[in-house]
Amino acid sequence: MQSLTSVLRQRTLSTASSSLSRATYTASRTNVARHYATARKEHTPASRTINFVLGTGIVIGGLVGISYGFDSRASIHKYVFLPLMHWTMDPETAHKVGIKFLKMGLSPWDTQPDDPALEVKLWGKTFSNPVGMAAGFDKHAEAIDGLFDLGFGYVEIGSVTPEPQPGNPQPRMFRLPEDKCVINRYGFNSEGHKVVETRLRQRIKRFLYKHAREDQQETLEKLKNGTGSAESLVDHLSTNRSLRDDRVLAVNLGKNKASTPESVDDYVVGVERLGPYADVLVVNVSSPNTPGLRSLQRKGMLEDLLRQVITARDRLQSSYKPPLLVKIAPDLSDEELEDVSEAALATKVDGIIISNTTISRPSTLINKENAKEVGGLSGPVVKPLALRALRAVYKHTEGKIPLVGCGGISNGQDALEYARAGASMVQLYSSMAYEGPGIARVVKDGIVKGLNGKTWSEIVGEDVKKA
């Protein structure tokens, strides 16, 4: 047993230790309070000015950084974000991510107005510039407004097939970075007419609710009561189906893989279902990834196809009848190009897009490994093939039919070559995968510089007319 003295000694030590701890804690709190009180007293007018300047600088810097990031001309998109996507994603995944960003409004904008020299008047429409996004990028009508915001004067969605189809098995898209080319064998992967029509219709409805130029109350009542279709209501507005006064929306029509090669029914149905939502309709008979499709480019079959789809277009109930274009391949022989020209003249089609991807593999390709992949090749190596076809068709049609040049366009000089060869408009796609979202502005600035005081419309067909 402990003695009474020992117990008392332990209790005394414990009490003293507890008192010391409380005193230390109290002193610590007192010191902290004194520190902050002193610190508050040290906020002199000079320190307050410095803090204000620093805070303002951080806010302004943040705003400038955001503004820079959302400017399509910013180098960060081409030299940081794009290489990062190429390094971390396969081509198809990167394509899908790009569409998502455009769809969500997280993509950059072309912040500069278009030069008046770029203006084009075609098919009764006015384009602020002749640079378009080709079909194949926004296949399912998900990113229309995002693409217009990048500065394109013409956006073509699709190809869209009547029924949904998955396309070919993956992998089905391949980069050739040394050549800045792409090979794809998507095979008309499409969500089908119904899904695309719903997206287009909802887009028009959103626009009408916000920006109706006729009596707003009347428009709202029509939409609520269902007495007027969205597309018919657009007829009463002084704007395009693109919902942009100086931009045009095109819908590219394809056919299902299960359809017989010679059938044109898929195109007729496409005109009937999607025609009311388009400023321009495009019949795609040149994809290399759908068996038998290119056979429709033969003179007799093409002429029959064009007559049937033009008849379907003329039957549309809406007051506006969209011009109808046909898209051909760059691999056609001179004789075949002459046949296409004669069919176009005979049917009075509204335009020809030259060209789609090529099935050839030019010897100039550096990336021999991916060049072995089956599919359509796009990029700079297609340009000589497309220009050859364009010049031939422009000569055969004597400039009577508007032509749209497509294939290997990555700068203003490329676009000017197409114009001088006879193209009233140009389209690009693959170059955006290598040059980034600022490509439309790069091409437009290059065109203006190369025009040397002329306008785009003045140089169309210039080289062919001199020959």
Catalytic residues: 287
What strand order describes the sheet that includes 173-176?
173-176, 181-184, 376-378
CB neighbour class for 77 (10 Å; exposed up to 12, middle 13-18, buried from 19): buried
DSSP secondary structure code for residue 116 in this structure: G
Rounded CA separation 384/69 (Å): 35
8 A C-beta contact, residue 199 and residue 158? no
Question: Within 10 A of 123 (CB to CB), how many other CB atoms are there?
Answer: 18
Rounded CA separation 424/431 (Å): 20
Q: According to DSSP H, which parts of 175-292 are helical?
A: 192-211, 216-225, 230-234, 265-274
What are the Cα distances from residue 185, in Å, to 47, 182, 196, 369? 65, 10, 21, 16
The SS3 assignment for 286 reads coil
8 A C-beta contact, residue 116 and residue 133? no
